[in-house]
Amino acid sequence: MRLHSDMARDQALRDGDRQAYTVVVTDEDHHPVYYAILSLVGIWLIR
């Protein structure tokens, strides 16, 4: 989860108002053991 927060800090809303980051962690045999999604949405309140 720490990696997700680093990604969010470094890349947050750089290319628009919505971003999603996906991470899949695999074991030594390349079987998925953990899956995480971080979604960020920015909304301008001033027009």
The pLDDT of residue 28 is: 97
Q: Is residue 24 part of a domain?
A: yes
Q: Dihedral of CA 28/29/34/40: which sign?
A: positive
* Residue 9 forms part of a structural domain: yes
Provide the token pair at 26: 């695999």
46 falls within a domain:
no
**19 within domain boundaries:** yes
Q: For the chain, give the mean pLDDT.
A: 79
Instruction: Give me the pLDDT at residue 13, please.
Output: 56
Residue 3 has what pLDDT? 59
Residue 26 confidence (pLDDT): 97
> Does 9 have pLDDT greater than 80?
no
Instruction: Specify the pLDDT at position 29.
Output: 98
Distances (CA, A) of 20 to 14, 23, 28, 29, 47: 12, 10, 26, 27, 25
Considering its fold, how many domains does the chain have in total?
Answer: 1
Task: With a cut of 70, say whether residue 17 has pLDDT above it.
Answer: yes
Q: Which domain range does residue 11 map to?
A: 2-41
